[in-house]
Amino acid sequence: MGDLTIKQKKDWAQTLYLQGDLSQKDIALKVAVSEKTISKWVNESDWDKLRKSLLATKPAILRRLYDHLDRLNTAIEKDNRLANSKEADAMHKITASIRNLETETSTGEIADAGRKFIQFVQKENLADAQKLTEYFDAFIKERLRG
């Protein structure tokens, strides 16, 4: 790893960090930088936020939304009544979120697919993979900004 530029090392470290399999110490050893440098990169570039977006998978979020909707419906049916305005509003918001999630691709899904593609390219050409990582990182950051 000694022949890589700092930018290439940072990109490689980010890929390793987002995979979530290694500690910052292990990443520092693999990339040949200090743990302090890895910590700095994690904080400066908000890698934790990016990692969390990867963990917030569509199926997990949908499951939670359906659970919330089910609990609301169960409470209303238990009392054999119609939903009050607060419950109706919550149900409307939950169903809209479900509809959006079921019809749109999440940032987490895009990031996961991109990570897998970059890993595939790394097997063939490390330089190309690192350039793709740079572009892909910028793309994900733009999506996160909304």
Q: State percent of the chain over pLDDT 90.
A: 38
User: Would you state the structure tokens that stand for residue 4, as one six-digit string?
Assistant: 């890589």
Compute the distance between CA of residue 34 and CA of residue 51 in angstroms, rounded to an integer.
Answer: 21
pLDDT at 86: 95
Kindly report, residue by residue over 86-96, the tens digit of the pLDDT: 999 999 999 99
Q: Is the pLDDT of residue 77 over 90?
A: yes
**108 C-beta neighbours (distance < 10 Å), count:** 20
pLDDT at 121 over 70: yes
Position 60, amino acid: A
User: How many other CB atoms sit within 10 Å of the CB of residue 89?
Assistant: 11
- pTM comes to 0.42
Q: If you compute the radius of gyration of the chain from its CA atoms, what whole number of angstroms results? A: 21
Residue with the larger pLDDT of the pair 8 and 41: 41
Q: 12, 22, 136, 47: which is closest to 4 by C-alpha?
A: 12
Cβ proximity of 42 and 17 under 8 Å = yes
Q: Is the pLDDT of residue 75 over 80?
A: yes
Residue 6 burial by Cβ neighbours in a 10 Å radius (0-12, 13-18, 19+): exposed
Is a pLDDT exceeding 50 seen at residue 105? Answer: yes
pLDDT at 1: 42
Confidence of residue 27 (pLDDT cuts 50, 70, 90): very high
Say which residue, 107 or 42, is predicted with more confidence.
Answer: 42
User: Is-contact 144 53, C-beta < 8 A?
Assistant: yes
- What local confidence, expressed as pLDDT, does residue 70 receive? 96
Domain segments of the chain as ranges: 6-54+108-145, 58-105
